[in-house]
Structure 1
Amino acid sequence: MKKVFLSIIILPILLQSCSGQTNKGDLRNKASQKEIEKNNTLTQSDFNVFPGTNVNDQISQVVRTIFQDSKGNFWFGTQNGAFRLTDKSLTHIDKIIGESGKGVTIKKITESKDGKIWLGHSDGISSIDGNTVTNYYESDGLISNDVWSIAADKNGRIWIGTIAGVCVFNGQGFTEFVLPEGQVDSTLGVSSTKMVHSIFEDSKGTLWFSSNAGLFSYANNSLINVSKKAGIQTNFVNEIFEDKNGELWVSTKNGLYHLINNKGENITKGKIETGKGIGSIAEDKDGNIWFVSNQHHLYSYDGNELIKFQKSEYNKGPGVFQIFKDQDNRLWFVGFGGAFRLENGIFINVTKNGPW
């Protein structure tokens, strides 16, 4: 089901019509299609997280993201679409389809203040209101179907980060939000000068954009290049995270930054291998910060010491896309290999049948 909106949104001066879209082919890096396919091709060994693990039991072989809504339901975004867990019953959401008519890979999930669930995926965005699914595409005004992030602000607007920049949806139509253009990340199979990896609204109502042009904040109609002010020494910013004390942490290509008084301290500089950079960030029940480095290594930080999680053949969890703390203060790790929880230092594989 698809809706076409013809209305015009009036937003601050940083917004402009989506009609003058840039050719998406000009935004991607120079990697050939074969190189991209190679970077995204997984083998059976990628899923053998534990000896004897049956990949068919997994929620999906690749779980990109996890989200818990205000009602306590879990949502899993996977390479096979979206799954909802309600009262220990796992259901696939069949009506989420791309503009091409095919299935999609779900990359980010959020909830708006009216209780709708919004999903950004590989061929547009979708909203779920009860049992009603609505899909939105470029033909509806979305700046690009290649969506990498999505967030809902306190005013009910939906912010969508794509390979071609940012769009805002107000319930009536889409309008582009202009960010500075950055650089292509040549180490990734897919990248662009306008890619936005994460959008986040903090507890004070400030919006944060993590992009290939750096980290930007937006409040009171003012867009600020925080990377320059904070001294973040890379254009490639992946994510920003707010801990329970309201302090901000930023994952980047060259390390994990702690923002203190508008200055960034790289707490990993010279201490760990960053390789392709720092990925997802979360906080455990004790206030320790957990993060992924170089796509494979897990670390925790207690404010003084970096501690590497020691994996073993029988306890290594997935190749992590996201770390997530649920409403019961449990840490989830989802990615290549499926969904896992870390309990008492042991990775528990959560399959289609739980344990929930």
Structure 2
Amino acid sequence: MCLFQDSHNNIWIGTKFGAAKYNGESFKIYSPHTGTAAGDINFIFETIKGEILLCTVSGNITKIKDDSTTVYKGSKEYESYLFTQMHDSLISVARHTKNNIKSTLLSFNKGKYRKLKNLNGQWYNLVYANDTIWILYKNSLNQRIFAFLDKKYKFKELNINIPFIRLQSKADTIYLSTYKTIYKYFEGKLTKLIEDDSLWTIIPTKNGFVKKSFVKKNKITEYDYTSKQITTFNIPAFRNVITDKEGNLWFGTENGLYKLAEKAFKHYVFKDYNIDISNPGVVIDKNNNIWLSSFNGKLYKYNGNKFIDFTDKLPTVFFPFLIAGFVKPDGTIIWGRSGEGVVKKKGNKFTYAYKNLANIFEIYYDTLTQNTLYGHAKGVFFEDKNDKLVFDAGSIIKTMILAIEKDTAGYYWFASRREIFRYKNKKLTKINDSAFTYGALDIAHDAHNNLWFGGEGGLVFYDNKNFKKIEHPKLLNKAITALHVVGDSVLLIGTTSGMAAMDLKTF
């Protein structure tokens, strides 16, 4: 029911049947059967005198000092005690057994309870900070009240009309949370820190706080709210991003084409150019032309002055939807398709290939082997430099691959919407790591040989040893659709609500 580590590094375990102390070598049991402790222990505390207090839901307290025990019985008037310490006294809030809408603040000192304050409502929790007991409870009008009890046991309610559900402290600061917002209360000032639709419990840590999400199967996540390493940009969600020869970045979004140059965005609104295209994929050819492909089968080239429609140059096929786009070193442009096969442009000629393969969402070129890898509806197939199919990994993957990357150790990484795989020498390994809630929609490789995975479960970092989920306020509850590394210092993160840039130098 609870765990506690005392000043001598002993571990105390509170259970329904008593408590156990573990000194690193053996256990010592305190239980009702031996008369050394009560049962149903839900709170363990060490006083400033070095006494261990085992507290129960019924208000019984067992005091342990130098292995001698004393049991103090609680009152039948109260149940479900919640405890903290103030000076040399233990402060508790207990609910009335006969009328559970009423609670009472109690102090426990020298084996005796003392009534401090009746609360006409139900308590949530209390913490001790700055010689003050901070209390959160719900009154008879169903209003959540934030209050405190000072060192002279004077009670005061704060006039803050916010429905808090949790209260925690760290050093001199109080943290409060609603179901979706965390606040900081310091020196009488309340400041909003972060919003998250799935907040349930907050626990302050060295660099931020830990949140426990109730609606996400009690998943526990750590956030660093002090970090400033991620900056967001007000552009729509995009499918992919490319860098041209001049170092400019190009984004294809649902609201048009964006160009980022000299830290400023230029927006090309498609309707202003009479372009029938939406949320395009973007590639750049060897002549620095921008090619835009779309789910509606449209294909345009932007040469720096105007957009040119190339749709009628495409092979006539049943499913025209163009998805993935890639430019090989020899200048060949390849577009994957939502129907079947790929469209290749070599010189001025467009051809249609691999019509037996459906939904090619990812194209990756291996500069070492000169193989081209295609992620499709049932796995991955490899094409050699002579445009011949040399191996179909779909026979062992058997799932739709949306992203492909290769690390410096020669492993290919394949990502589906729900799974991550590592592949080498025709051996496939499925990655099972708690950092991944889902699979990934994109993978990026940075200048330090780290891998980044982005998907519906957020952002995951891999340093070739361990996976780490990257939690940041500006990425909360956002599916990541695209990743792109710029130079050796910036990771661009495309999300369902826009773009964020992570400074890798401060990561």
For Structure 1 versus Structure 2, the TM-score category normalised by the shorter chain is 0.5 to 0.7
For 1:236 and 1:310, locate their aligned partners in 2 and report how far apart those are by CA, in whole Å: 26
Shift of 1:303: 2.4
Q: What corresponds to 1:201 in structure 2?
A: 327
Q: Secondary structure at the match of 1:167?
A: strand
Asked if the contact 1:315/1:346 (under 8 Å) is kept, the reply is: no
From 219, 228, 233, the counterpart of 1:93: 233
Q: What's 1:226 paired with?
A: 353
Structure 1 residue 234, shift from structure 2 partner: 2.0
Q: Structure 1 226/342 Cα, relative in aligned 2: closer, same or farther at 3 Å? A: same
1:58-78, Cα deviation, whole Å (9 max, x unpaired): x9xxxxxxxxxxxxxxxxxxx
Q: 1:288 aligned to 2:418?
A: no
1:352 Cα deviation after fit? 4.1
Distance 2:309 2:383 in 1: 28
C-alpha change, 1:302 and 1:196, in structure 2 (3 Å) is same
| Contact 2:241–2:251 (CA under 8 A) maintained in structure 1 | yes
State the match for 2:478 in structure 1. Answer: none
Matches within 5 A, 1:104-253: 104-141=236-273, 143-164=275-296, 165-178=298-311, 179-183=314-318, 193-212=319-338, 213-227=340-354, 233-245=356-368, 246-253=370-377
For residues 211 and 46 of structure 1, what CA distance do their matches in structure 2 show?
Answer: 40
Q: Where do 1:53-68 residues align within 5 Å?
A: 53=221
Give the number of the structure whose residues are more often helix, by fraction.
1
CA 1:220/1:272 → structure 2, altered by over 3 Å: closer, same or farther? Answer: closer
Q: Return the letter of the residue paired with 2:303.
A: N
Normalised TM-score (structure 2): 0.47
Question: What amino acid sits opposite 2:411 in the alignment?
Answer: N
Aligned-partner residue type, residue 309 of structure 1:
I
For the pair shown, the structure with the greater C-alpha radius of gyration is 2
Q: Return the offset for 1:159.
A: 0.8
Instruction: State the TM-score, normalized to the length of structure 1.
Output: 0.65
Structure 1 residues 264-273 or 279-288, which shifts more?
Answer: 264-273
1:326 maps onto 2:452 in alignment: no
Contact 1:340/1:348 (CA < 8 Å) preserved in 2?
A: yes
**Are 1:47 and 1:336, in contact at CA under 8 Å, matched by a contact in 2?**
no
RMSD: 3.0
Is contact 2:341–2:358 with CA below 8 Å preserved after alignment? Answer: yes
**Contact kept? 1:198, 1:238, Cα under 8 Å:** yes
Any conservation in 2 of the 1:48–1:337 contact (CA below 8 Å)? no
More strand by share: 2
Report what 1:101 is aligned to: none
Task: Classify 1:160/1:287 alpha carbon distance in 2 versus 1 (closer, same or farther; 3 Å).
Answer: same
Q: Which residue identity lines up with residue 283 of structure 2 in the other structure?
A: A
Q: 1:50 to 1:166 in 2, by over 3 A?
A: farther
Judge conservation of contact 2:436–2:469 (CA < 8 Å) in 1: no
Task: Kindly provide the CA deviation profile for residues 259-295 of structure 1, in whole angstroms up to 9, marking residues without a partner as x.
Answer: 1342224533432331xx22110001111111123x2
* Pairing 1:256-335 to 2, within 5 Å after superposition: 256-260=380-384, 261-274=386-399, 277-293=400-416, 295-311=417-433, 314-316=434-436, 318-335=438-455
Structure with the bigger RCO (C-alpha within 8 Å, sep 6+) is 1
Distance change >3 Å, CA 156–CA 342, structure 1 → 2: same
Unaligned runs of 5+ in 1: 1-42, 60-87, 97-103, 184-192
Q: Return closer, same or farther for 1:48/1:322 CA change in 2, 3 Å cut-off.
A: farther
TM-superposed deviation, 1:46? 12
Partner Cα separation in structure 2 for residue 222 and residue 288 of structure 1: 34
| Unmatched 5+ stretches in structure 2 | 1-196, 199-212, 474-501
Cα shift readout 1:217-241 (whole Å, capped 9, x = no counterpart)? 212212222325xxxx224211210
